[in-house]
Amino acid sequence: MLEKKVQQLAKKNLNQLISFRRHLHQHPELSFKEYKTCQFVKEKLEAWGIETQIMATTGVIGLIRGKKPNSKILALRADMDALPIQETNIVDYKSQNDGIMHACGHDVHTTCLLGAAQILQELKEEWEGTIKLIFQPGEEQLPGGASILIQEGVLQNPNPSSILGQHVEPLLEVGKIGIKSGLFMASCDEIHVTVKGKGGHGARPHQCVDTILMASQLIVQLQQLVSRNADPLMPTVLTFGKIYSEGGATNIIPDEVKLLGTLRTFDETWRAEAHERLVQSAQLICKSMGGSCDFNILKGYPFLKNNEELTQLTRQHIEAYLGTENVIDLPARMGGEDFAFYSQQIPACFYRLGVQNPNGSGLHTPNFDVNEQSLEVGAGLMAWLAMQKT
């Protein structure tokens, strides 16, 4: 059976996959600077006889043609960039690049897609269609590598009819897969606010236009704006994660205060309305207090929607490969992901790969790590899914 062949190859290649992942983990690169990672991926694919193309400067696109290559065209995607985090793990494969770390599992994503590519190439006489491999740069930074690749034509020549992607999930045990149909991940916008007033001595606030007070009012009142205007059935999150001013002391009111935050939701109409309301309200609040503000919203990733039909079929194929008991229903989550750009263009399914590690570390933390047995599951499963007729 083809399923058994895939599982055997994934198991056979595990040590190689671990070496790939550790190499990538030791040499992480930030978004849109994945030059060595790009070269590493390209060399591996070409060594296996897979046709490659460079897009978006550091993205690698591969093509594998099985029997009847025009019968089906499916895309598989992995992101390659790392985060500006100083790793604290004490392991042989610790990051060698100061202040940069694969803390979101993109080294695992890249390794799993490489492993899937190797299996697909080796068994290409036993499945039908064409598989487009998308090794994508810049998932962690706006405007998102997916949006750039789409602009450059990654979903054309040939045109995939659907796309699959997987992401590590440290809350799931190895061997488990999490999946959800429909709305899965939120849109994600960055908010940059500069509150302007008149600084001065903290003992003479009547001679100032207090930017600290204005910023405080903004945070409180904008939270109320969201809670009172968003449909209670439509998840929405407004969070300010940073407030600061240059210089300053305990007895100084600054001329300017900066706020950084994020807005997340699942509805494009409300998203646009919220943008307008936030800007207008912030400007009115500051004006009423004698100041002003520059309120800028950097529109980020759209919401990610898993196509219902494709996700149902994908779930069935995962259950056939791993067993029904190993497929877990996931809730929607407010995290953002630029795979959403693909999901806005063609039917897409984004699922979660269990990588639980005993140290209990979470995503985007300096001690994040994974159980490397998950590489066997991730690589084999991606290859298996790609081989299915739909």
Q: What is the pTM of this model?
A: 0.94
3-state class (DSSP) for residue 115: helix
**pLDDT for 215-248, tens place per residue?**
999 999 999 999 999 999 999 999 999 999 999 8
- The identity of residue 276, as a single letter, is E
Residue 232 CB neighbour total at 10 angstroms: 7
Q: Classify strands 252-253 and 200-201 as parallel, antiparallel or unpaired.
A: antiparallel
Q: What are the sequence ranges of the domains in the chain?
A: 2-186+303-387, 188-301
- Report which secondary-structure segment, H or E, holds 20: helix 14-26
325 contact partners, CB below 8 Å, separation of at least 6: none
Average pLDDT, the chain: 97
Copy the structure tokens of residue 41: 């991926």
Taking residues 311-332, report their average pLDDT: 98
**pLDDT for 94-120, tens place per residue?**
999 999 999 999 999 999 999 999 999
**pLDDT for 130-168, tens place per residue?**
999 999 999 999 999 999 999 999 999 999 999 999 999
Q: What is the pLDDT of residue 101?
A: 98
Inter-residue contact 258 to 192 (CB < 8 Å):
yes
CA distance 308 to 182: 6
Beta-ladder partners of 169: 354
CA distance 337 to 347: 16
Q: What is the pLDDT of residue 283?
A: 97
Q: How confident is the model at residue 357 (pLDDT cuts 50, 70, 90)?
A: confident
Q: What is the pLDDT of residue 212?
A: 97
**pLDDT for 5-62, tens place per residue?**
999 999 999 999 999 999 999 999 999 999 999 999 999 999 999 999 999 999 999 9
Beta-ladder partners of 73: 130
Q: What is the pLDDT of residue 373?
A: 97
Strands (E), 137-174: 162-169
Domain 188-301, CATH among 3.40.50.920, 2.40.30.30, 3.90.1580.10, 3.30.70.360: 3.30.70.360
CATH superfamily to which 2-186+303-387 belongs:
Zn peptidases (3.40.630.10)
Q: How confident is the model at residue 390 (pLDDT cuts 50, 70, 90)?
A: low
86 vs 248, higher pLDDT: 86
